[in-house]
Amino acid sequence: MKMKKRYTVVFLADQYPPKQLLLLQRGADRPFAPNRFTGIGGKIELGENPKVAALRELMEETQPPITDIPIVEFGRVIINDNQIIHYYAGLNDGHPLPSSNEGTLFRTPINEVFATNLIPTTRWFMEKWAERLWDITKPFTMYLSRFGDIDSRAEDVRVVEGLEDLP
Contacts of 147 (CB under 8 A, 6+ apart): 80, 155
Mean pLDDT of the chain: 92
pLDDT in tens, 79-104: 988 899 999 999 987 778 999 999 99
- The per-residue pLDDT for 3 is 64
- The per-residue pLDDT for 9 is 98
Lowest average pLDDT, out of 42-56, 82-96, 107-121, goes to: 82-96
Contacts of 96 (CB under 8 A, 6+ apart): none
Phi-psi region of 103 (alpha: psi -120 to 50; beta: other; left: phi over 0): left
Spatial CA neighbour of 76 closest among 93, 54, 98: 54
CB burial readout 14-28, b (16+ within 10 A) else e:
beeebebbbbbbbee
Lowest average pLDDT, out of 29-43, 128-142, 148-162, goes to: 148-162
pLDDT in tens, 137-157: 999 999 988 666 666 666 678
List, in order of start, the domains of the chain with CATH numbers.
Answer: 5-161 (3.90.79.10)
- The per-residue pLDDT for 93 is 72
The overall pTM is greater than 0.95: no
Residue 30 pLDDT exceeds 80? yes
Contacts of 161 (CB under 8 A, 6+ apart): 138, 139, 140
Spatial CA neighbour of 26 closest among 35, 18, 15: 35
Q: How much is the average pLDDT of 17-34?
A: 95
Q: How much is the average pLDDT of 118-131?
A: 94
Report how far residue 140's alpha carbon sits from residue 95's, in angstroms, rounded to the nearest whole number: 28
Q: How much is the average pLDDT of 94-123?
A: 94
pLDDT category, 167, cuts 50, 70, 90?
confident
